[in-house]
Chains A and B, each alone.
Chain A
Amino acid sequence: MSERGMTEQGMTSRGLTEQGMTEPGMTPLAEQVLEVVGRVAGSGADAEVHVSTGTTGLTRFAASFIHQNVAESYARVRVRVALDGQWATASTNRTDADAVQRLVESATAAARLRPVDPGYPGPAPPAATLTAGNWDPATAMATPEDRAAVVRDFVAAAGGLPVAGYVETLSEQAGFCNSAGQQAGGQRTTATVDGIARTATSDGVGRSSSVRLGALSGAELGGLAAAKARSAEQPTDLAPGDYEVVLEPSCVANVLEFLALHGFNGRAVLEGRSFAELGGQQFDQSVRLADDPTDELSAALPYDVEGTPHRRLDLVVDGVTRAVTHDRRTALAAGAQSTGHAVPGGERIGATAADLRLAAGDGGSSDELAGRMRRGLLVSDFWYTRVLDPRTTVVTGLTRNGVWLVEDGTVVRPVHNLRFTQSYLEALGPGAVLEIGSQTGVLGDRWFDSLTVAPSLWLARWRFTGGAAG
Chain B
Amino acid sequence: MAGARYADARAMHSRYESMFARNGDVEDLVQRESVGVGVRALVGSSWGFYAVPDPTPLAARQAGRSATGIARASATVPGPSVDLADVEVRQDSWANECAEDPLSVPLGEKGDLLAGVTRTIHAAGIPIAEAAYQIWDTSKWLVSSAGHRIDQRIRECGGWSSATAVGDRETQRRSYPGVRGQYGTRGWELVREIDLAAHAPRIAEEALALLSAPECPAGETDLVLGSEQMALQIHESVGHAVELDRILGWEAAYAGTSWLDLAKLGLLRFGSELMTITADATLPGALGSFGYDDEGTPARSVDIVLNGVWTGVLSGRDSAAVAGLPCGGMMRADGYARLPMVRMTNVGLLPGPHSLEEMIAATDDGIMMDTNRSWSIDDQRLNFQFGCEVGWEIKHGRRGRMLRNPTYTGIGPRFWGSMDMLGGPEEWRFWGTPNCGKGQPGQVGHTGHPSVPARFRGVRVGVR
Q: Which of A73, A196, A203, A398 sits near B52, CB closer than 8 Å?
A: A73
* B371 contacts partner chain A, Cβ-Cβ < 8 Å: no
* B128 contacts partner chain A, Cβ-Cβ < 8 Å: yes
Could you tell me which residues of chain B, from 123 to 142, have a CB within 8 Å of some CB in chain A?
A: 127-128, 130, 132
Q: Which of A391, A397, A470 sits near B169, CB closer than 8 Å?
A: A391
* A194 contacts partner chain B, Cβ-Cβ < 8 Å: yes
Contacts of B95 in A (CB 8 A): none
Kindly state the separation between the CA atoms of A110 and B103 in the bound complex, as whole angstroms: 12
* B73 contacts partner chain A, Cβ-Cβ < 8 Å: yes
Stretch at the interface among B189-197, B266-274, B350-358, B437-445: B437-445
Q: Which residue of A lies closest to B374 (CB)?
A: A386
- The reply to whether A12 and B54 contact each other, CB–CB distance below 8 Å, is yes
Contacts of B410 in A (CB 8 A): 470
Contacts of B59 in A (CB 8 A): 12-13
- The reply to whether B463 and A9 contact each other, CB–CB distance below 8 Å, is no
| Whole-angstrom distance between the Cβ of A52 and the nearest chain B Cβ | 12
Could you tell me which residues of chain A, from 321 to 362, have a CB within 8 Å of some CB in chain B?
A: 329, 345, 347-348
Q: Which of A75, A113, A196 sits near B111, CB closer than 8 Å?
A: A113
Q: Which of A71, A72, A114 sits near B107, CB closer than 8 Å?
A: A114
Could you tell me which residues of chain A, from 432 to 470, have a CB within 8 Å of some CB in chain B?
A: 446, 465-470
Contacts A10-B51, A151-B77; is A62 near B252 (CB within 8 Å)? yes
Could you tell me which residues of chain B, from 16 to 69, have a CB within 8 Å of some CB in chain A?
A: 16, 19-20, 25-36, 38, 46-54, 59, 66, 69
- The reply to whether B338 and A7 contact each other, CB–CB distance below 8 Å, is yes
Contacts of A12 in B (CB 8 A): 53-54, 59
Contacts of B120 in A (CB 8 A): none
Contact with B along A1-24 (1 / 0, CB 8 A): 100111111111110000000000
- The reply to whether A392 and B170 contact each other, CB–CB distance below 8 Å, is yes
Contacts A419-B409, A421-B385; is A90 near B170 (CB within 8 Å)? no
* A400 contacts partner chain B, Cβ-Cβ < 8 Å: yes
- The reply to whether B171 and A69 contact each other, CB–CB distance below 8 Å, is no
Contacts of A62 in B (CB 8 A): 249-253
| Whole-angstrom distance between the Cβ of A451 and the nearest chain B Cβ | 17
Stretch at the interface among A26-34, A141-149, A295-303, A406-414: A141-149
Kindly state the separation between the CA atoms of A296 and B34 in the bound complex, as whole angstroms: 34
Q: Identify the interface centre among A9, A466, A468: most chain B CB within 10 Å of its CB.
A: A9
* A66 contacts partner chain B, Cβ-Cβ < 8 Å: yes
User: What 18 new A-B contacts, CB under 8 Å, besides A5-B334, A69-B49?
Assistant: A7-B334, A9-B34, A9-B35, A9-B53, A10-B54, A65-B80, A66-B73, A110-B107, A116-B25, A168-B440, A347-B28, A383-B256, A391-B170, A419-B378, A419-B385, A421-B463, A466-B409, A469-B382
A interface with B by C-beta (< 8 Å) = 1, 4-14, 56, 58-75, 87-94, 103, 106-107, 110-111, 113-119, 143-145, 147-149, 151-152, 155, 162, 164-166, 168, 194-196, 198, 203, 271-273, 329, 345, 347-348, 383-392, 394, 396-398, 400, 417, 419, 421, 446, 465-470
CB-defined A-B contacts under 8 Å, sample of 23: A7-B36, A9-B36, A14-B54, A60-B440, A61-B77, A66-B79, A69-B47, A70-B49, A93-B35, A106-B31, A111-B29, A115-B26, A164-B249, A168-B441, A273-B166, A388-B405, A389-B405, A391-B171, A394-B464, A398-B376, A400-B378, A417-B383, A419-B385
